Chain A
Amino acid sequence: MWELVRANQRRAAILVVVMAALLFVLGYALGETLAPGGGLGGLLIAFLVWIGLTLVSYFQGDAIFLSLAGARRIEKKDHPVLFDVVEEMTIAGGLPRVPDVYIIDQAAPNAFATGRDAQHAAVAVTAGLLETLDRDELQGVIAHELGHVANRDVLYMLMVGVMMGTIVLLADVGARVFFYGGGRRRTSSRSGGQAQVVILVVAIVLMILAPIVAQLIYLAISRRREYLADASSALYTRYPEGLARALEKISHSTAKLTTATRATAPMYIVNPLGVSARGLADLTSTHPPISERIRILRSMGAGAGLRSYDEAFRKVTGRPVGVVPFGAMAAAEHAPAAAPAAPDATTRLERVRQTTDMLWKLNQFVFIPCACGTTLKVPPVYLGREIACPHCGSVHKVQQPAA
């Protein structure tokens, strides 16, 4: 799998360099506009802002992200099936360490992965996802997220996101100063001459264009990565239909993810902001259209490898160039699709019960098995009091659970 990782990294590195260049040129031009000869100063400030933000996002990005999303870490005993699926996909993807598992108490089915590399990775799923999807579908989604981790997308998205933020910030500051404060100083500097005018024009053009270009680079990276993660998911599970079905179910859900923001949206498996937020053209969307992703997965035929995905991608989108980097294609093996190992017999009701039980336990509810067969689930405020079973009337004392 490391061919894919390496090709992916190279491509991302080029885009990061392009973006950094854009950032520094913008900084220079801004400095030059504000004070003639201040270009180096502007460059330095742009550089410092960028370094600062990058360091913070590198070391704290995952933690910030998880807490923004309202995610809570869970243990294996909280939800064994989810953990088993994550462990299985970790093995299938050849990752060095099982990622930390987080749960988001939200009804909208969605998931994301974060972390700076495979050693420091985390995957978060919403309660709605666990309730909606059966085991094979869940496996497809988890494989997609681990695909992001294996392809190092998590780090690049973080870095590119931060860079885009810096560019937008600088352009914004520049525009403000330019329109409200920069004018006087400019007219008083008579010595500048033609060079000054050229720099000024370039700066204005940059201020307008830089954020747009940055956004387009960001979106290009982000959408390509979604396709690649889909391809990885098919490769890991050898069952593209699982992810296809999961995407279908997720896209049919009307629940909204209230903890997602515009900044965090690109990280989710499906754009959590819904259709209204991406009413603009396809160009401005962080995610490829779901219907297209599903069609590609379903056109893979009997293959489940990267090569089959690439062929299906070209067939469905009509684009001459696929998504899988050439270096990875050369090493891509023919991987036949296989039926899922064990069909999942759980019903939606059982999954909902399992998930809500987990959330209640996380919220310190006390579970008391009554002799009549009922299980009483008591909120922690009743600790130390006595309650009667609503079915048989026998009285139980609510005590702190042993564990």
Chain B
Amino acid sequence: MIFGLFVLIVIVVVALGAMGMYNTLVRSRNEVKNSWGQIDVQLKRRHDLIPNLVETVKGYMAHERNTLEAVTKARQQAIQVTGDVAERAKAENALSQTLRSLFAVAEAYPDLKANQNFLALQEELTSTENKISFARQYYNDAVLRLNNRIQMFPSNVLANMFNFQMEKFFEVEAAEERQAPQVKF
């Protein structure tokens, strides 16, 4: 009788623990999904801003066709890439790179720097870059938490049982790429 009660208590405790763990796993997975959505919003915003920027800059930077074409091309590629996080990260990082060189080149054009439209766009793009990097930071934290739970005991047992998948980080290739385009006037 007492033994039976003991077994019952153990079963209940284990069941409750498993339930909590399962919910934690699901919540972690949703967190990853949501934070990816946030990155997505900001990346789209950047894609939308770029044609405007190119249009504004075109008239001033006739000699910089290559730079402008590189930006347009990188944007096109970034839009077309779908699916895998690592691939998207690579395309978006390439886009960041071309944008950075565009802003660097813009330094040499005083007329451009006096253009209100350009300045507003530049502020928008800088803030969007910041938002992308903060969204990426949050996403990577969420991925790390999920992956830890999937690998660590005891939650790994449940994760295996219910087939939770590890997620990929949104990596920045080089350390200096963490920085948004630095443009000083």
Contacts and interface: CB of A to CB of B under 8 A. Distances in A.
Most chain A CB neighbours (cut-off 10 Å) among B27, B129, B145: B145
A341 B144 contact: no
Given A80-B123, A94-B138, A88 B131 contact: yes
Contact of A341 (B27, B34, B129, B142): B129
A339 B144 contact: no
A80 B125 CA distance: 13
Interface stretch (B8-16, B56-64, B174-182): B174-182
A331 B145 contact: yes
Interface residues of B, number: 29
Contacts of A238: 137
Contacts of B134: 88-89, 91-92, 236
Interface in A319-358: 331, 333, 335, 338-339, 341-343, 345
A92 B129 contact: no
A84 B145 contact: no
B38 A84 contact: no
Contacts of B141: 333, 335
Contact of B178 (A236, A331, A338): A338
Interface residues of A, number: 21
A93 B178 CA distance: 18
A341 B137 contact: no
A87 B131 contact: yes
A342 B103 CA distance: 13
B130 interface: yes
B135 interface: yes
Given A91-B138, A333-B144, A338-B178, 13 more contacts: A88-B127, A88-B131, A89-B134, A92-B137, A92-B138, A94-B31, A94-B34, A236-B134, A331-B148, A333-B145, A341-B129, A341-B130, A343-B182
Interface of A: 2, 80, 84, 87-89, 91-94, 236, 238, 331, 333, 335, 338-339, 341-343, 345
Closest 8 CB pairs of A and B: A92-B134, A84-B127, A341-B180, A91-B134, A333-B144, A91-B135, A342-B180, A88-B130
